[in-house]
Amino acid sequence: MKRRTPSGFTLVEFLVALVVGMLIVLAAIAAMLGTRSTAMTGDDVNTLNQSSALAFRLLGQQIRQAGYIPIDPTEPLYYFSTSADRGTNLTAEPAFFAIKGVESADGSNDKLKLGYAPNPDYFKDCLGQEPGRASGGEYDRADPEAWGNARLITSEFSVSNYTLRCQGSGNATPQPVIDGVERFDVMYGVSATSGNRQVAGYVKADDVGAGFRDVRTVRICLQLVGTSRSSPAGNHVDCDGVARTSSDGRLRRVYTAVFSLRNDLGAL
């Protein structure tokens, strides 16, 4: 009887199989990491788009309302005027205003403050708060001119610790609006002459002059940054139109919107 010789893999065959298996595993890992990176980048894009939409919705609402003054038929024009004898009943803002701005010292995050008079249909600041009374108690909606009523609603936007915040009329501490803000840049569209609604150009807050009475539009630029580090390219164009490159792997997007002041005081 002929004896059978045991069969099996040789060392070379085993090594070849091991290498092929490792290549398949590495390819699978690379595909998984690529898919994960793409998914994280997509999440960042969605988050930044939603954050910018939320910020512009709130900013636009407040900017369009800025400068609103109720008509009083017993006065020549309006009963909320900037003259000293028609106060706002607010210690912090004794004179009525529509818009104020502060330019950042390092060219990063500006400040924007908006003011308008309450009215029966709209009584809330950027945080959804209603104005109070100088003497305490609730605002008298039935009689806007009642003694002690706060005659000015204010909303101040600024950035702290990469968070856009707003300080309303009824709170002492700014509250967060959106996160991931690297830059909050505000430019002001001004008219060439008082009473003219046509925008002659956009300037920084320091160059507005005339107590911001010639501001007709406001241009907001937001530079937002994602949380993941899955974007190796790191290329973006900042609010000044300058191409930038970052090496931290975080996605950056720049969003710009222009809002018109419907109640700007200088055009009256």
Residue 222 lies in a domain: yes
Boundaries of domain holding 122:
40-260
Residue 78 lies in a domain: yes
- Number of structural domains the chain divides into: 1
pLDDT value at residue 80: 47
Residue 158 lies in a domain: yes
| 205-250: pLDDT as tens digits | 999 977 788 899 999 999 999 888 766 667 888 998 898 888 888 8
Residue 161 lies in a domain: yes
List, in sequence order, the alpha helices (H) in 66-126.
none
Residue 27 lies in a domain: no
Across 103-242, the runs of DSSP E, i.e. the strands, are 111-116, 153-160, 163-168, 175-179, 181-191, 199-203, 215-225, 235-237
Residue 15 lies in a domain: no
pTM of the entire predicted model: 0.78
Residue 183 lies in a domain: yes
Arithmetic mean of pLDDT over the chain: 80
Angle value at C-alpha 181, between 177 and 182, nearest 5 degrees:
160
Residue 205 lies in a domain: yes
